[in-house]
Amino acid sequence: MRILMIILAVLIGLVAALLLGGWIATRAMTASVEQRFPPQGEFRTVEGVKLHMLVRGLGRPVVLLHGANGAVQDWVASGLVDRLAQSYRVIVVDRPGHGYSERPPGVATPDVQARLVRGVLRQLGIEKPILVAFSWAGSLVLAYALEWPDEIAGVVSLAGAAYPWPTPVNAIYRWPNTPIIGPLFVHTVAMPLGNALIDGFAASAFSPSAVPQSYGTSGLPLALRPKSYAANAQDIETLKPFLLQQSERYPTLKPPIRILHGDSDSVVGLEIHSRALAAASPQVRLEVVPGAGHLLHYVAQDRVIATVDELAKAAR
């Protein structure tokens, strides 16, 4: 019995040492990442929540909203911000809990995030914007279009999430939302582990295209910080039940919705999300991009800009 107690004490000590080491490493990595990718824009407070955004250019407003694991820097690194800013007033927003935006209390479902984004735009005096959403944010702009259809000129969804998918949510997004285990995982394991896997994630998301060199400045490591990781996990775990309810309203969509989706996307299913949405409403038009993976704002920029131009011309 004494030997077993000694072994148990040693094991507990080892686990505690590993967790302490992970906590120290996470704090150091967080400081390093924030030094490499500092805030790029300005801050506005909506409903007591401080949100970070970047504003460039003049003209009709175009709002860019990032996907899971994203931030303002992702749009900037793609080069799309600079290209759009030649003709438009571009507003790039860190979604609540991501980048340098605060997270509101409670569960920040897409409709909650849409309301906060709308509050930012109203503070900036933005009228009739074109909303451009990537991946997870597709759910957000659809919520926006359903709630405030007369306030926007249209939506461009880049491989946007629209419907619940059949496979279970990955455990790495469920664990952070569980008591005790969740905070331990987020503050000790998630960032070192994620940092080791980050290159593989990028390669999979871009496939069949190569990862562009500029993606190194996308700020992806910001998503591994404890607060951002927890926010992202909540976003993904709560998305399926939200979309199950929201999707019932798609036949009532009023603004023009334009979807671009790569036929080789392995992250967000073309059939489940985009083809189904295009079939649900006459306001939706889908363009399938041949040979493209998930990150269309890098690999299909000409098509993205042409689609924004189309909506801007129709809104005049």
Q: What is the DSSP string of 49-99?
A: EEEEEEEE--SSEEEEE--TT--HHHHHHHTHHHHHTTTSEEEEEPPTTST
- Say how many residues make up the chain: 316
Is 24 a member of any domain? no
Asked whether residue 4 is domain-assigned, the answer is no
Tokens of 179: 């008591």
Any domain includes 23: no
Q: Is the pLDDT of residue 9 over 70?
A: no
In percent, the amount of the chain with pLDDT more than 70 equals 93
CATH of the domain at 121: 3.40.50.1820
Whether 19 shows a pLDDT value over 60: the answer reads no
Rounded Cα gap, residues 36 and 135, in angstroms: 25
Is residue 16's pLDDT more than 60? no
Q: How many domains does the chain have?
A: 1
Domain region containing 154 = 34-314
More confident of the two residues 222 and 174: 222
Supply the pTM of this predicted model: 0.94
pLDDT tens figures, 146-177: 999 999 999 999 999 999 999 988 888 887 88
Residue 25 belongs to some domain of the structure: no
Tokens 């401080």 — which residue? 50
- Specify if 51 maps to a domain: yes
- In which element (H, E) is residue 157 found? strand 154-158
Measured N-to-C along each axis, helices 226-246 and 190-206 cross at an angle, to the nearest 10 degrees, of: 50
pLDDT at 15 over 80: no
Q: What percent of the chain has pLDDT over 90?
A: 79
Q: Is the pLDDT of residue 233 over 70?
A: yes
DSSP output for 202-213 = HHHHHTTSPPPG
Report the helix count and the strand count for the chain, using DSSP H and E: 12, 8
Kindly report, residue by residue over 88-127, the tens digit of the pLDDT. Answer: 999 999 999 999 999 999 999 999 999 999 999 999 999 9
Q: Are 215 and 244 in contact (CB under 8 A)?
A: no
| 83-to-77, 88, 119, 236, 296 alpha-carbon distances in Å | 12, 9, 26, 30, 15
